[in-house]
Structure 1
Amino acid sequence: MKSTRYILDSSLAFLAGALNRLVMMSAEEKRQMQQRAVGVACAAAAAAYGAPQITAHVSVQKTEEVFLGQANELAQLINTSADGQIDIEGIDISKPWRQQVAYASDSEIVPGSLTKASFDVEKIDPVVDVIANFSPRKQIEEVREQRLEHLCLAEAIYYEARSEELGGQLAVAEVVENRVASDRYPDTVCDVVYQGHTRVTGCQFSFTCDGSLRRKPRGEAWDRSIEVAAFVMMGLSDKTMTGNATHYHTDYVTPYWRSSLIHTETIGTHIFYRIPEAEEWRTVRTQQAKANGLRGIQKVSNVVTSDDLNKAAEKAL
Structure 2
Amino acid sequence: MEKSNTTIDFILLGLFNHTRSHLFLFIVVMTIAIASLNGNALILLLILLDSRFHTPMYFLLSQLSLMDMTLVSTIVPKMAADYLSGKKSISPAGCGLQIFVSLTLGGGESFLLASMSYDRYVAVCHPLRYPVLMSWQLCLRMTVGSWFLGAADGLMQAAATLSFPFCRANEIDHFFCEAPILVRLACADTSVFENVMYICCVLMLLVPFSLILTSYSLILSSVLRMRTTEARKKAFSTCSSHLSVVGLFYGAAIFIYMRPKSYRSDNHDKVVSAFYTIFTPVLNPLIYSLRNSEVKGALKRWLRKCANVKPQYT
Question: What TM-score results when the alignment is normalised by the length of structure 1?
Answer: 0.29
More helix by share: 2
Higher relative contact order (CA 8 A, sep 6+): 2
